[in-house]
Amino acid sequence: MESQFVERVRHSNQACQQGDFSLAIQLYSEALTFHPHNYILYSNRSAAYIRVGRYSPALNDAIKAGLINPKGSFVISD
């Protein structure tokens, strides 16, 4: 199970580096099923959503990341 998580994270990061943000979103989503409280995955998926112009899910993921880790540098504030 942990190896599947690591594989998806590795592939999602590669997809981002190659500019395939739709695939990255899919892989980050799959990785989150293994670790649903991983704020880094929410942050990365948020960035991928922005790259494909899906701003509402990007904002939702950024908010989730901030709720999980309020001290993160990516936190959205008023």
SS3 letters across the chain: CHHHHHHHHHHHHHHHHCCCHHHHHHHHHHHHHHCCCCHHHHHHHHHHHHHCCCHHHHHHHHHHHHHHCCCCCCCCCC
Domain-embedded: residue 75:
no
Domain-embedded: residue 53:
yes
Per-residue confidence at 78, pLDDT binned at 50, 70, 90?
A: very low
Domain-embedded: residue 64:
yes
Domain-embedded: residue 77:
no
pLDDT in tens, 15-71: 999 999 999 999 999 999 999 999 999 999 999 999 999 999 999 999 999 999 988
Which CATH number is 60's domain given? 1.25.40.10
Split into its structural domains, the chain has a count of 1
Question: What is the pTM assigned to this prediction?
Answer: 0.89
Domain-embedded: residue 78:
no
More confident residue, 30 or 2: 30
Query: Which domain does 47 fall in, by range?
Result: 2-68
pLDDT of the residue at 73: 63
